[in-house]
Structure 1
């Protein structure tokens, strides 16, 4: 049973033998806000720099994240004018915090000693910006050095902090912003956690008791798995107890994903991400705050894949898949009913309507709402959306949204 699966069970070893394991995607349009001269782009550039100078990347007891570049970038890409971008910045700034000095500085000799210590957020961003100067302000070179080099590269820990380092990195690449890029590195360093070990240590990638190429099939198996009954009794849970006490069960499902056709499997994972947000929602209940991060982080993976070394492609997707399984369990394994999306009546609504919703509705300043709509739109562009799955998901989500839930 495992002979064919085991040859794919470790994507890093397989990639060393076969270059076609790279996920072949065209890059999204890159918007270089540093060089564009129209008023909207200039406004975005100035606001990103203002946020970078004034506001910390972590806030509220170092437990929450600065989403300002995410919603500014999403609104810009949806076509927001300068006035709306300024309004978004003012709204976001109300919740953000000023930078605070770190306990000390960080150097090239000891930077790894401070990984996972959020109180060093200012020091990490300063350190990476010093590296930026030493590399001739080539922010991509700095990203390459710290994300992809070394024994345990930071890229393998991007899902920590509810994947905010990954999401931030996606906007850095798409907006070609060195400020956002240095912030993304700062988040990768300060949010760094035990989760990296599942990618850095090959022993966690091993044959499973079953094998399937379908992420949705695995999610159904997880939903039916009695070993997870009673693990949590409420929503909004930390992942560490799950992976501490039920690691083998989680890894069994994680390793069951058979990635024989990486591009096809990534497409199916993208569909699963949309379904987890939209097809688990029940009328009268607020949408799940944790599940939306699975969609927006999958979107970030889509942005990043064409722009990074091929040997990290499958590993990055599997990293996202581990986070998805863990949060699906932590959010009490809701039923995924694809009929909620597939039977959505569009009644003439199209992507233009979705765009107006994103920048003109009463939720147009809600970062996660706008990001989710943007992720669904880009997914439709990426995969073609011949059956209008992503458009229906966006319409269903947009019409039914009434705030975020999923907490205790």
Structure 2
């Protein structure tokens, strides 16, 4: 294995220390995957049925992830709607670093156990089980089998078992009206999981997504709203299933969405979409431009109170709903704008998540903001899915951008001093950052996801740096160092609601030289 072009941080040429400079060889007995980003066309034309049939015969892995039912294939080693099986060559995601064969095997085993033994919520308050997210991210970052097992053992200790599956309920869900009667009920997670596993096994991932999320009927609209609920955890889970070609994880994600609330879709996403005049209108403003305008809007800033239990539902959507909708509706994306808007979205959320610091306090990332960063990576895959139509892709990207805007406001629209990033010392290279995040002794997956999403962002945004994006060049590596350094020690890993003074009260003062 060879690594070329790493330079010391202090040299004039340390900017060449980029993930794109990593070159590696692959021993025959140990499949590895270079850092990668899918550069295939965003909207490839659908293949004729005859071509699909040929691909099905030649590649069972492809068949399981097209609209062809997985039951038609015979390969016992492939991933199905009920079996998690990672291939280190084919299933390393849009961004990976030296994926290991043993790690793929252990990750497949522990994720299978997690699916069979654990609920999507680890307590009655609806706190999410992040095992899938953490394991797949550590695996993609080149973590060892031991790293993966340690992460699983540490995080399985507080999970709870799902309720027993009731076959009569699963059968009843085939009726659209009865299906909707079960939505939003956490006790039905196991039943929804069995339902979507059967649906995917019968119809394939593409057809199930179209029918239950993107068809536009009442059931699908409700599911789409729920996909963006729960701090977008269902969307993140779906992203992992799609990115790593795992139909079973897609089934988990849909079941997870089904037991979440839909209020944010009904009160924010759908009204913003209507105000925008529909889906896919040419956007006149970038996400960054809208963020800059929002920063100076005092009505929005004063719409959120520290005492609000849910700062979006109880704050923004009560005290300034129309102002928020006016901004959100201006974020639209047409088909020809996708490459630029994808980089704009990723760059903007990394910018505000990283720069939202307090000069007198030690660096901390906001727990809510990092979810906007961590979910951004999946859109490189989503925009490239051959079975998802253009309208659905654009709708997802527009909703993501609107989520990013309302999330920023919900944390009291913090100041964003860019020098918090540009002056930060980058002492570790990407390889070191990946290793440290994969082996972090107390991370439940959030840190590893953040580091990987930032590194991926560098790849996506590099061709568009000339467009005036706030994050560019060495700043990506500096942000990666900020993330790792800020989560070391006994203090809380994250600040929660960074724009409020109260959020920082118990965090350490920044050391002064």
Question: TM-score by structure 2 length?
Answer: 0.67
2:405 match: 325
1:255 to 329, 334, 339: 329
Measured in 2, the distance between the counterparts of 1:200 and 1:79 equals 40
Relative to structure 1, the CA distance from residue 315 to residue 133 in structure 2 (aligned partners, 3 Å threshold; closer, same or farther) is closer
Q: What is the CA-CA distance between 1:369 and the residue it aligns to?
A: 0.7
2:395 to 305, 311, 315: 315
Q: Are 1:183 and 2:252 counterparts?
A: yes
Q: Work out whether residues 185 and 260 of structure 2, in 8 Å CA contact, stay in contact via their aligned partners in 1.
A: yes
Relative to structure 1, the CA distance from residue 368 to residue 306 in structure 2 (aligned partners, 3 Å threshold; closer, same or farther) is same
Structure 2: gaps spanning 5 or more residues? 1-40, 45-64, 66-77, 89-100, 464-471, 498-502, 504-513
Q: Work out whether residues 142 and 435 of structure 2, in 8 Å CA contact, stay in contact via their aligned partners in 1.
A: no
Q: What is the CA-CA distance between 1:176 and the residue it aligns to?
A: 1.6
2:438 match: 359
User: What secondary structure does 2:368 align onto?
Assistant: helix
1:392 to 478, 485, 490: 478
1:146 to 212, 220, 225: 212
Relative to structure 1, the CA distance from residue 293 to residue 62 in structure 2 (aligned partners, 3 Å threshold; closer, same or farther) is same
Q: Work out whether residues 333 and 397 of structure 2, in 8 Å CA contact, stay in contact via their aligned partners in 1.
A: no
Larger Rg, first or second structure (1 or 2): 2
1:93 match: 156
Relative to structure 1, the CA distance from residue 314 to residue 132 in structure 2 (aligned partners, 3 Å threshold; closer, same or farther) is closer
Measured in 2, the distance between the counterparts of 1:62 and 1:186 equals 17
Q: Work out whether residues 333 and 398 of structure 2, in 8 Å CA contact, stay in contact via their aligned partners in 1.
A: no
Matches within 5 A, 1:7-406: 24=42, 34=85, 36=87, 38-101=101-164, 105-106=169-170, 107-109=173-175, 110-135=178-203, 138-152=204-218, 153=220, 154-155=223-224, 157-197=226-266, 198-200=268-270, 202-206=273-277, 213-234=285-306, 237-241=310-314, 242-257=316-331, 259=333, 261-282=337-358, 283-284=361-362, 286-307=364-385, 308-347=388-427, 349-363=428-442, 365-384=443-462, 387-402=473-488, 403-406=493-496
Measured in 1, the distance between the counterparts of 2:340 and 2:419 equals 22
Higher relative contact order (CA 8 A, sep 6+): 1
Structure showing the higher helix proportion among its residues: 1
Deviations 1:181-213 (A, max 9, x none): 111001121114023345556533259xxx852
Deviations 1:46-80 (A, max 9, x none): 11110000000123114111110100000000111
Structural RMSD (CA): 2.9
Measured in 2, the distance between the counterparts of 1:383 and 1:272 equals 11
Q: Work out whether residues 379 and 397 of structure 2, in 8 Å CA contact, stay in contact via their aligned partners in 1.
A: yes
User: What secondary structure does 1:75 align onto?
Assistant: helix
Q: What is the CA-CA distance between 1:381 and the residue it aligns to?
A: 2.4
Question: TM-score by structure 1 length?
Answer: 0.83
Structure 1: gaps spanning 5 or more residues? 1-22
Relative to structure 1, the CA distance from residue 64 to residue 293 in structure 2 (aligned partners, 3 Å threshold; closer, same or farther) is same
Deviations 1:23-66 (A, max 9, x none): 9389xxx9976263732211111111100000001231141111
User: What secondary structure does 1:221 align onto?
Assistant: helix
How many residues get paired? 376
